[in-house]
Structure 1
């Protein structure tokens, strides 16, 4: 969409949706109280509020290239600050890490060396925080075709981020006391469906009526 289209959309939002939901926005001006932290990729094809049909104020959203959360101590100020605020200030009850099909970041991760010259910042981000996923996938699935390997990388990357979240002291404490749950999701763009990781089955399963909270600690294994 062009900038002109965005401005037209803003005008339509204010004239239609905002006027129809004015009471909601007036209430939101007094503060937020979301129960879910939704961590996903910056990719323009995934919209957390659209796919979950969440209303304004219901999701606390964090996005970056590849839905990557560095482990505690290695995290940049943005990721660590967002997690800390969500868990401690907002009292988040559920954290979802949601990857998606055809993820460009995971494609880049599988051939990360080619990014060094053209996109050095992307290369540095993926090399520093995606190496565990890359090595696991390439070392354990050497004979898998490219499309299937990408799917495995996308799923495995989500599980790696769940493990990284478990290194945060505040999250560990709340997991232990049952005040917080972690969920690993994968959104399939072409079908509009969401799959959740089922740890006992060691695979992502179509989610219809419920998610599958990831047990603590997670064993990052996906069946090929």
Structure 2
């Protein structure tokens, strides 16, 4: 315990500190002071400048401060939800790319949806498609229009050059769609659709045989390189033909390559062996509007000869 003299000195020091703090709070800062009451505005300004120059109000940069980012996003979310968007009924007078789509949607609703209302109500509850379709993203190749597919007929995924990566490639939008279609929807058919004058196949055939320089790699080149085996087969079988002919050969060869890649997925191979899943290839030639179709036969227990064969090949024209 402190002696009485030290305790008394400590109390006096604390009292003096509180008094000094109160005075500091009470005294206005230089920039908070007000000029004397002078009626004339110009004279008042002169008095203010004479009394306070060169004083100035501190800038924000005079202070060092640390801003702590908030981890609570509820405020921003609430602002976005509460924000009232202005609605504009008319365009700025230019071309509206959605006007034709609106007309088509209205026509679809009246001619298709309303007339088949019961069927659409069933589809709203569940889907049981007959096909899983892997098609190219090319705007000229729409499997729904070409094959007359209706809502509920096919679970579809489209990518550049209609490629199916092998199982070891890992996750992608195509593999995720295949997994859902085969395991969850249990589709009985998978159809890979290629087409004429495919830009993705042209990019594949344009790649050099030697390893490309890393600086020249792009998303497209990395993706179409999945069809390397089809390109090598094409070069071996049709290397003496023109580039256009090689591309057409590779367009069909890449479909078969994708069909073989499908069998690298354990759950696809199992269903094919059980006879619950069929793998098909299709080739749409939009130059003369023909469609070739074939089915892959998988015979894993066959000794001698190929385990794969093609059946039911036909051309629709």
> In structure 2, what is the equivalent of residue 123 of structure 1?
221
Among residues 262, 265, 279, which one is paired with 1:165 in the alignment? Answer: 262
Structure 1 stretch displaced more, 72-81 or 58-67: 72-81
2:105 and 2:216 map into 1 onto residues whose CA distance is: 35
> In structure 1, what is the equivalent of residue 140 of structure 2?
45
Deviation digits for residues 117-146 of structure 1 (CA, Å, limit 9, x no counterpart): 78811111112x122222221233221122
8 Å contact kept, 2:296–2:309: no
Judged with a 3 Å threshold, the aligned counterparts in structure 2 of structure 1 residues 146 and 112 are, in CA distance, closer, same or farther, namely same
SS of corresponding position for 2:103: helix
SS of corresponding position for 1:136: helix
2:216 and 2:197 map into 1 onto residues whose CA distance is: 21
8 Å contact kept, 2:205–2:231: yes
Cα drift, residue 82 of structure 1: 1.0
Cα drift, residue 25 of structure 1: 1.4
- Superposition misfits of 4+ residues, deviation over 3 angstroms: 116-119
- Structure 1 residue runs without a partner (length 5+): 198-212
Judged with a 3 Å threshold, the aligned counterparts in structure 2 of structure 1 residues 138 and 2 are, in CA distance, closer, same or farther, namely farther
8 Å contact kept, 1:34–1:57: yes
The 5 Å alignment of 1:101-116 reads 101-112=196-207
> In structure 2, what is the equivalent of residue 27 of structure 1?
122
Deviation digits for residues 5-64 of structure 1 (CA, Å, limit 9, x no counterpart): 223322332233222222221111001001211111011111212222222101111110
1:69 and 1:183 map into 2 onto residues whose CA distance is: 13
> In structure 1, what is the equivalent of residue 240 of structure 2?
143
SS of corresponding position for 1:32: coil
SS of corresponding position for 2:163: coil
1:189 and 1:75 map into 2 onto residues whose CA distance is: 33
Cα drift, residue 183 of structure 1: 0.7
> In structure 2, what is the equivalent of residue 92 of structure 1?
187
> In structure 2, what is the equivalent of residue 178 of structure 1?
275
Among residues 293, 297, 308, which one is paired with 1:218 in the alignment? Answer: 308
Count the aligned residue pairs.
Answer: 204
Decide which structure has the larger Cα Rg and report it.
2
Query: Relative contact order (C-alpha < 8 Å, sep 6+): which is higher?
Result: 1
The 5 Å alignment of 1:6-25 reads 6-25=101-120
Q: Alpha carbon RMSD of aligned pairs, Å?
A: 2.4
> In structure 1, what is the equivalent of residue 293 of structure 2?
196
2:215 and 2:101 map into 1 onto residues whose CA distance is: 33
- Structure 2 residue runs without a partner (length 5+): 1-95, 299-306, 311-317
> In structure 2, what is the equivalent of residue 78 of structure 1?
173
SS of corresponding position for 1:194: strand
Cα drift, residue 166 of structure 1: 0.7
Deviation digits for residues 97-118 of structure 1 (CA, Å, limit 9, x no counterpart): 110111111111111369x878
2:203 and 2:184 map into 1 onto residues whose CA distance is: 35
8 Å contact kept, 1:69–1:79: yes
1:11 and 1:142 map into 2 onto residues whose CA distance is: 51
Cα drift, residue 219 of structure 1: 6.2
8 Å contact kept, 2:132–2:154: yes
